[in-house]
Amino acid sequence: MPRLLAIAPLVASLVVVARVESHRGARPICAVFQLVRDTSFTRVVGALSGDSVLAYRWPEEANVMERALHKDSGKTFARGFRVWSAEGPGAAAINRAHNRVLIVPWRTGDDCRRYAWTERAYPIRPAESTFVAALLRPRQQWIAGSPTMDLDLDSFVYSPGLARQADTSYGGRPAPAYVSASVLAEAYRLLPARGTWGCTPRRALKPLRAWVGNHPDSSAAELVSSWIRSLVEWIPAADRDRSDSCRTLERPN
């Protein structure tokens, strides 16, 4: 399973997972569509706290070489995360739990299914302010009685260091300055929700454009502008894939 699918979407991208067929008739692969906000996600800003709890053991079919390279062979740990701010479903429960969550990493295969996280590196950098948007587990599935979030292909993870690392890894050029995790969290709220984007993509861009017009000097203005440009490119695909039940909702700008 390609490393890219396990790592790249975790670096500041929002995704909708879909199975797509190759033009050459190859087996389905897991495709990534960026910049659509999932309203079921809990959103937190904070940093790793240094503690960890066993999350799960790898299944027997996990790669033998991956076991040999991993310092805790056959095990994946949830890492403690100190929460400075929380929004969305379960935010009150996180506050009651002394503003701490456990974050469990997963990787996603070509078939869009979850598999054990077998990378040596954890997908969140230590000692760095980080924004995470991911599903909070139901209370009965929490680990060790702590609020627990699952980090996979659907999730959004951002920190300046992660973005800088991705930029230099893939582009081989000096990395520019990046906005803080808290500023990114504010910009995230502007992204269109799945239902809104699916039915009315043109209308969904208006809040983003209005925000840039009202905050031209914000450190996030260029970031939000780049999101707008990317979303505009996806409007034809949204028009093509839109269900019949949505068609009456779209109006010309």
Give tens-digit pLDDT for 199-218.
788 888 888 899 888 888 87
Give tens-digit pLDDT for 95-120.
999 999 999 999 887 777 888 887 77
Same domain for 140 and 41: yes
Dihedral sign, CA of 219, 186, 153, 93? positive
pTM of the model: 0.78
Same domain for 79 and 9: yes
pLDDT band for position 249 (50/70/90)?
A: very low
Same domain for 17 and 82: yes
Residue 95 domain-assigned (yes or no): yes
| Structural domains counted in the chain | 2
What is the pairing mode between strands 29-34 and 15-20?
antiparallel
Which of 141, 159, 177 is the last residue in one of the domains? 159
Dihedral sign, CA of 210, 211, 216, 221? negative
Same domain for 152 and 77: yes
Residue 206 domain-assigned (yes or no): yes
Residue 132 domain-assigned (yes or no): yes
Same domain for 138 and 241: no
Residue 91 domain-assigned (yes or no): yes
Q: Is the pLDDT of residue 239 over 80?
A: no
Same domain for 76 and 34: yes
Residue 167 domain-assigned (yes or no): no
Which of 138, 159, 180 is the last residue in one of the domains? 159
Same domain for 213 and 137: no
Residue 83's domain comprises 3-159
Nearest to 110 by CA among 6, 252, 186: 6
Residue 15 domain-assigned (yes or no): yes
Q: Is the pLDDT of residue 17 over 50?
A: no
Contact 235, 201 (CB under 8 A): yes
Query: Whole-number mean pLDDT of the chain?
Result: 76
Give tens-digit pLDDT for 142-182.
999 999 999 987 888 999 888 877 766 555 565 566 788 99
Same domain for 103 and 223: no
Same domain for 21 and 85: yes
Same domain for 201 and 147: no
Which of 103, 138, 159 is the last residue in one of the domains? 159
Same domain for 205 and 145: no
Same domain for 151 and 207: no
User: What Cα–Cα distance (Å) separates residue 35 from each residue in 93, 110, 117, 208, 245?
Assistant: 27, 20, 24, 12, 23
Residue 165 domain-assigned (yes or no): no
Contact 142, 100 (CB under 8 A): no
Residue 176 domain-assigned (yes or no): no
